[in-house]
Structure 1
Amino acid sequence: MRIDLTNHTALVTGSTHGIGFATAVGLANAGAQVIINGRHTESVDAALERLSHQAPPENLWGVAADLSTAEGCAALTARVPSADILVNNVGIFGPKDFFDVTDEDWQHFFELNVMSAVRLSRHYAPAMADTGWGRIVFVSSESGLNIPTEMIHYGFTKTAMLSVSRGLAKRMAGTGVTVNAVLPGPTLSEGVTAMLNEEIERTGRSAEEVSRDFVMEHRPSSIIQRAATPEEVANMIVYAVSEQASATTGAALRVDGGVVDSIA
């Protein structure tokens, strides 16, 4: 299978590192014009420099915007008025006991993880429908199904993304626009590596080794028994936005390593 996204424009939010960065590389190498996004100009510029060594630089450009606010989303859509591929990847996570999570924490997680995707999808989807082709992907998580007790506020946002993506897929029925959610499991991104850094430094073991122990302790149902790589998750996203995935919509596509113990 050869995925060719030539003549398509893809916006990947939160793409200066991790799954978003790997997705940007995959999309650009498939021929798409790719807009990466991060909060700060410095991080966007650094990501573009890294990307230029892994994908055709002529296929890449970036926009700095903080998508945790309506104003930040509006600033991004003003700079990027149209795109026919939207990957709603931006998000934050972090363990915190339910009784220590403040109202402000709940609101911040909801605004960034959920409302950024709502606002951008609301902007880009109508034009996709007008042209008869479009792809929207919500990067959810297996934590949206297996709500982690140490991150209830995070799991809640990922469940919300599943609801929005399924509902929007039904709303776009018959338009040529597909809407899907991708559910990564534990993934060895920069954020996860940072979370495990204390144990990595204490033991002198590699990030891969420490993350494997973390998976087996906290996600023992994992079938692959390790963390996925960002590239493994990005592969599913690139497929989901391709021409070949034209009959896949309203789906929750799991790249969780088998963590979710379900056959459906």
Structure 2
Amino acid sequence: MQIDFKDKTALVTGSTVGIGLAIAEGLAESGATVIVNGRTQARVDTALETLRARQPHAVFRGVAADLGTADGCRELVDAEPRVDILVNNVGLFGPHDFYDIPDDEWQRFFDVNVMSGVRLSRAYTPAMVEAGWGRVIFLSSESGLNIPADMIHYGFTKTAYLSISRGLAKRLAGTGVTVNAVLPGPTLSEGVQDMLHDGQQDSGQSMEAFAAEFVKKERPSSIIQRAATVEEVANMVIYAASPLASATTGAALRVDGGVVDSIA
């Protein structure tokens, strides 16, 4: 199989680091024109420099916009009014005890992790329907099924993405536009590395080894018994975005290393 995104334009939100950056690189490697997004121009410029060095023959554009607001989403759509592939990747995460999370933090997680995907999908899918082809992918998480006790505010946003992606797939039935959710498990992104940094330094282990120990302790149902790489998650997104995945829609595609203990 060969994935070819020639003449396709893809937008990956929150793509200056981590999983989003890996998705952007993978789409570009397969021929897509890729729009990179981050909150600040400095972060976007740094990501573009990195991507252009890795993929010198690819076409990248960048838009700085805070997608946790309606105005930020509007700015992005005004700058890039049409895309063929939308990857709703931007998101916040981090442990916080349920009793200590104030209302405004719940709202912030909802606005960034949920409403950004709602607003952009609402803006971009009509043109996809008109063209008879399009891909929308929501980055959910195994935490949307296996809600972490220390990240309830995060888990509920990822459950919301499962509902939205399934419902939107049904709403766009028969149009040629597919909608899917991808569910990573523990992944060795920059954010996770930052979270583990102090413990890793104290342990004297490599980050990969320390992350594997963390997974075994905190996600003992993991079958791979380690954290995934950002590239492993990106590979699933790239397949789901490709013409080869034309019969896959309304699906929850797990890249969780087997953390969710279910056969379905």
TM-score range, shorter chain: over 0.9
| 8 A Cα contact 1:215 1:226, kept in partner | yes
> 2:145: which partner in 1?
145
Q: Name the amino acid aligned to 1:118.
A: V
| 8 A Cα contact 2:188 2:230, kept in partner | yes
Whether 1:37 and 2:37 are equivalent positions in the alignment is yes
Question: Aligned partners of 1:84 and 1:60: how far apart in 2?
Answer: 15
Question: Aligned partners of 1:17 and 1:204: how far apart in 2?
Answer: 25
Q: Name the amino acid aligned to 1:213.
A: E
Whether 1:219 and 2:225 are equivalent positions in the alignment is no
Question: Aligned partners of 2:160 and 2:56: how far apart in 1?
Answer: 35
> 2:207: which partner in 1?
207
> 2:108: which partner in 1?
108
**How far 1:204 sits from its partner (Å)?**
2.3
**What percentage of residue pairs aligned between the two structures are identical?**
67
Question: Aligned partners of 2:200 and 2:175: how far apart in 1?
Answer: 49
| 8 A Cα contact 1:28 1:56, kept in partner | no
Q: Name the amino acid aligned to 1:11.
A: L
CA deviation string 1:99-134 (max 9, x = no partner): 001101100000000000000000000100000000
**How far 1:143 sits from its partner (Å)?**
0.1
Question: Aligned partners of 2:16 and 2:225: how far apart in 1?
Answer: 27
Matches for 1:82-93 after TM superposition, within 5 Å = 82-93=82-93
**How far 1:56 sits from its partner (Å)?**
3.5
Question: Aligned partners of 2:67 and 2:125: how far apart in 1?
Answer: 18
> 1:132: which partner in 2?
132
**How far 1:205 sits from its partner (Å)?**
1.5
Question: Aligned partners of 1:162 and 1:52: how far apart in 2?
Answer: 33
**How far 1:234 sits from its partner (Å)?**
0.1
Whether 1:62 and 2:62 are equivalent positions in the alignment is yes
**How far 1:223 sits from its partner (Å)?**
0.2
Bigger mean CA deviation after superposition, 201-210 or 183-192: 201-210
CA deviation string 1:41-71 (max 9, x = no partner): 0010000111112223541111100000000
**How far 1:201 sits from its partner (Å)?**
1.6
> 1:188: which partner in 2?
188
| 8 A Cα contact 1:29 1:56, kept in partner | no
Q: Secondary structure of the residue that 1:150 maps to in structure 2?
A: coil
| 8 A Cα contact 2:88 2:137, kept in partner | yes
> 1:253: which partner in 2?
253
Number of equivalences: 264
Q: Name the amino acid aligned to 2:94.
A: G
Q: Secondary structure of the residue that 1:23 maps to in structure 2?
A: helix
Listed as ranges, the gaps of 5+ residues in structure 1 are none
What's the TM-score, normalizing by structure 2?
0.99
| 8 A Cα contact 1:10 1:34, kept in partner | yes
Question: Aligned partners of 1:57 and 1:220: how far apart in 2?
Answer: 42
What's the TM-score, normalizing by structure 1?
0.99
| 8 A Cα contact 1:9 1:85, kept in partner | yes
Question: Aligned partners of 1:58 and 1:88: how far apart in 2?
Answer: 21
Q: Secondary structure of the residue that 1:62 maps to in structure 2?
A: strand
| 8 A Cα contact 1:188 1:229, kept in partner | yes
**For the aligned residues, what is the CA RMSD?**
0.7
Listed as ranges, the gaps of 5+ residues in structure 2 are none
CA deviation string 1:150-196 (max 9, x = no partner): 00000000000000000000000000000000000000000000000
Q: Secondary structure of the residue that 2:186 maps to in structure 1?
A: coil
